[in-house]
Structure 1
């Protein structure tokens, strides 16, 4: 019997999924710690949703194995999981608090208790006045909040959210980020997929980057960023002198401004050369690369551009 350490919430080992001969997921490995916020980052069509559905047991992998909360049979752990699919769907004639209770009942929560919790959760999230309204009477943001509350009403150990930020305005995105952090503070494991790098950078300690059905990187956000050296932004009073040897030879000034990658020797030798060589430092800043830069380095320009197009499409749909 395959052993999975108790501190691991989800593990996938070389899982593969094909549809009509096309490979959607190509040998993915994942290991996600309990109590973490883990982001699966990649453009639409990269294999994120297929991966999540295999982890949940909605579909089976053609090859490889996966373990959910220690079990190779994910369905047996369904009552401990909250899942928000990318395709949102609520019964339009159902009252909001009843919709929350209904979703909880699907995970084994008694209906009466779900109704009580549903009302209280809506009150806690500033939606108490909408608890008795039908779903069709709610705004898009409210309806998505109701579905999210229904995902967590049974107090799951693991929450899996597929593109949860899609279609939300900035205000509701912020509310969702706070809710995710609140769940993690309780020790709940949260896994979410997204094609918006900023959400992963703000929320996650660890991520997996998915591109073309593979994972070219999995690990800490800080590790991904550390693959690139910091960038130096320098303004000098003088344009020439012995200090120029401390700056990469290919770097040319734009006016009195210089922009270059921090040398391997670090900032102290650079600063010493600038001061002793009388560069006349007007300003100097060192900028650590962000997750976007790391993503481009790992997945490539084309994949990053597809991500930006997906995000732009979301904003257009939201405005409509």
Structure 2
């Protein structure tokens, strides 16, 4: 199946590096979340994919071939800075954009009706774009990315400014396109949405890919953590469990205690349970894994880029 490949992209502005060996792929039928702080290099990467910027080195390939101008006509792109003509009517503008991608007038008109209705702005086809709310402009911008039935979707902050209903509509559309075999990549700061919607995620910092994988893969850790609930006084539990080798304990909520195994430690759960049972009934020992927000915070806080680096990496 066809794959979008980003292979060792490098981009510099003088002595400042915007991208360093940026490498990942987006597979047919998957939704890929591209996350990072402002200025991390997400938009630069997407602009290189679309040919808006030229990389200093590296390649973008689709189906094993370098993504050239002809192939880019089959990409649906939604830029972060909206590219709609404000004084042009919605329907006419979308038909024009569909035509630029090679669609006939009749096919373009049918596609515009389909996608504006699907995205909830069918009644606004005769309105000027500037008369729409920001959320409806966002829906029209997504329709512009979808109207020519692209083989690849590249979306930069598509959920920005949308209300919850619109987020649900857009999420369903992206899932449908992925289920139809389209590789979908989008950037977003809404990490709870990324965690819920994406098949794989890449976390980028200062122009480098720092973490890449499925949510489950990213959340796995060699430092296991649990919430322990024992029918005993919390101070007593903390005092007893502090004697367990290879474990660090701290207060949790209420009477619970947080237990973290030291890296490489074995049979920590058994030792914790034996110690806890000396004190009272164990009501629960629940594994805790980091959320995507926790992972993002750990990656980004490891070394924040300078303000100048953030500006050029965007």
The answer to whether the superposition gives a TM-score over 0.5 is: yes
Structure 2 partner of 1:60: 54
- The question of whether the paired residues in 2 share the 8 Å contact of 1:38 and 1:205 is answered with yes
Q: Does 2:271 match 1:258?
A: no
Q: How far does residue 161 in structure 1 lie from its aligned partner after superposition?
A: 0.3
Stretch moving more, 62-71 or 174-183: 62-71
Q: Does 2:165 match 1:171?
A: yes
Instruction: Give, in whole Å, the separation in 2 of the partners of 1:33 and 1:98.
Output: 33
Stretch moving more, 182-191 or 269-278: 269-278
Q: Deviations over 1:118-142 (max 9, x none)?
A: 1232223333322222222222111
- The question of whether the paired residues in 2 share the 8 Å contact of 1:184 and 1:190 is answered with yes
Q: Deviations over 1:213-267 (max 9, x none)?
A: 1111222221111036443222323325997355866425467331122575468
What is the 5 A alignment of 1:147-166? 147-166=141-160
Q: Deviations over 1:288-320 (max 9, x none)?
A: 22112222333335659x9xxxxxxxxxxxxxx
Q: Does 2:292 match 1:291?
A: yes
Q: 1:135 aligns with which of 129, 134, 150?
A: 129
Q: Does 2:28 match 1:72?
A: no
Distance 1:12 1:124, change over 3 A: closer
Instruction: Give, in whole Å, the separation in 2 of the partners of 1:250 and 1:12.
Output: 41
Q: Which 5+ residue runs of structure 2 have no aligned equivalent?
A: 308-314
Cα RMSD (Å) of the superposition?
2.8
Distance 1:125 1:63, change over 3 A: closer
Instruction: Give, in whole Å, the separation in 2 of the partners of 1:302 and 1:168.
Output: 31
State the secondary structure of the residue aligned to 1:143. helix
Instruction: Give, in whole Å, the separation in 2 of the partners of 1:270 and 1:111.
Output: 72
Q: Report 1 or 2 for greater relative contact order, CA contacts < 8 Å, sequence distance ≥ 6.
A: 2
State the secondary structure of the residue aligned to 2:110. helix
Q: Which 5+ residue runs of structure 1 have no aligned equivalent?
A: 1-6, 307-320
Distance 1:114 1:240, change over 3 A: closer
- The question of whether the paired residues in 1 share the 8 Å contact of 2:33 and 2:201 is answered with yes
Instruction: Give, in whole Å, the separation in 2 of the partners of 1:242 and 1:48.
Output: 47
Q: How far does residue 47 in structure 1 lie from its aligned partner after superposition?
A: 0.8
Structure 2 partner of 1:107: 101
- The question of whether the paired residues in 1 share the 8 Å contact of 2:103 and 2:148 is answered with yes
- Give the number of aligned pairs: 299
State the secondary structure of the residue aligned to 1:286. strand
- The question of whether the paired residues in 2 share the 8 Å contact of 1:94 and 1:134 is answered with yes
- The question of whether the paired residues in 1 share the 8 Å contact of 2:229 and 2:284 is answered with yes
- The question of whether the paired residues in 1 share the 8 Å contact of 2:121 and 2:139 is answered with no
State the secondary structure of the residue aligned to 2:72. helix
State the secondary structure of the residue aligned to 2:149. coil
Q: Does 2:230 match 1:236?
A: yes
